[in-house]
């Protein structure tokens, strides 16, 4: 049976009452929480990244979502084992918590290859709105499915490290795991 979210997550979950399934898995960088709705994977976040957890409400288990979480947990564990496996776009994500603009940014993040990186400005250009650099940065920061929608691959325009909901130490570790030299 999947673990329940820590109490500190339950107090900040502000989405409408929808049923989500939560599961915690270990990783070399600390516990990772996964959440699924009937529509697909709703979120992945490192424990302690409360900003991402606000999307989720703990609820009853459902077999379909449990199966979805088990497959995503396996993908995350294979990623940390160095297999470099991340899902393709055919795997169901539930991104309805985001605006159309945020969803466009999150889709653009999926196109950053493993071992690659981009800047907020380049990402803004990729979605056809080069003037929206700050809005792109805000959308990247609201990415509910960190790691699988690889927001950790976004750097400052000069290649510098910028924020990451899981913490900069984890961002550095993820980039190094993928072969990006920092």
Task: List the structure tokens of 176.
Answer: 């190094």
Q: What is the pLDDT of residue 8?
A: 36
Is residue 123 included in any domain, yes or no? yes
What was the pLDDT predicted at 143?
92
| pLDDT for 7 beyond 60 | no
114 shares a domain with 60: no
Question: What are the pLDDT digits (tens) for 10-23?
Answer: 333 344 446 777 78
Same domain flag for 108 and 160: yes
Query: Per the domain annotation, does 1 fall within a domain?
Result: no
Q: Which domain holds residue 77?
A: 7-83
Q: Which of 76, 145, 147, 151 is catalytic?
A: 151
* Lookup: tokens for 79: 């990623």
CATH of the domain at 23: 3.30.160
Q: Are 86 and 114 in contact (CB under 8 A)?
A: yes
Q: Which residue has the higher pLDDT, 4 or 116?
A: 116
The verdict on residue 150 lying in a domain is yes
Q: What is the pLDDT of residue 60?
A: 44
Q: Mean pLDDT across the stretch 86-97?
A: 71
d(CA 34, CA 68): 10
Q: What is the pLDDT of residue 12?
A: 33
pLDDT at 154: 96
Determine, yes or no, domain membership for 2. no
Is 58 catalytic? The answer is no
Instruction: Please give the order of strands across the beta sheet that includes 21-25.
Output: 21-25, 32-37, 40-46
Q: Which tokens hold the place of 180? A: 């990006």
- For residue 33, pLDDT over 70 is answered with yes
> Are 66 and 14 in a shared domain?
yes
**Lowest-confidence pick of 33-42, 98-107, 132-141, 154-163:** 33-42
Residue 116 maps to a domain: yes
Its pTM stands at 0.78
CA distance 5 to 22: 7
User: Is residue 89, in this structure, part of any structural domain at all?
Assistant: no
Distance CA 74, CA 72 (A): 5
pLDDT tens for each residue of 95-128 = 888 999 999 999 999 999 888 999 999 999 999 9
Structural domains in the chain (count): 2
The arithmetic mean of pLDDT across residues 76-93, rounded, is 73
For residue 145, give the CATH number of its domain.
1.10.10.10
Could you count the other beta carbons within 10 Å of the beta carbon of residue 54? 18
Strand partners, 33: 24, 45
Give pLDDT, residue 62: 53
């Amino acid at each position: 049976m999947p673990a329940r979210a820590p109490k500190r997550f339950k107090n900040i979950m502000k989405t409408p009452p929808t049923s989500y399934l939560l599961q915690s898995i270990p990783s070399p960088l600390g516990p990772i929480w996964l959440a699924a709705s009937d529509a697909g994977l709703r979120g992945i976040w490192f424990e302690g990244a409360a900003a991402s957890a606000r999307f989720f409400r703990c609820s009853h288990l459902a077999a379909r979502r449990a199966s979805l979480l088990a497959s995503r947990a396996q993908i995350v564990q294979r990623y940390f084992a160095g297999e470099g496996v991340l899902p393709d776009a055919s795997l169901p994500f539930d991104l309805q918590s985001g605006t159309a603009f945020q969803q466009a940014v999150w889709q653009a993040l999926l196109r950053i290859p493993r071992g690659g990186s981009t800047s907020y400005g380049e990402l803004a250009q990729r979605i056809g709105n080069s003037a929206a650099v700050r809005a792109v940065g805000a959308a990247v920061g609201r990415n509910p499915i960190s790691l699988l929608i690889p927001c950790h691959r976004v750097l400052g325009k000069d290649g510098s490290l910028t924020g990451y909901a899981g913490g900069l130490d984890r961002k550095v570790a993820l980039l190094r795991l993928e072969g990006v030299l920092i």
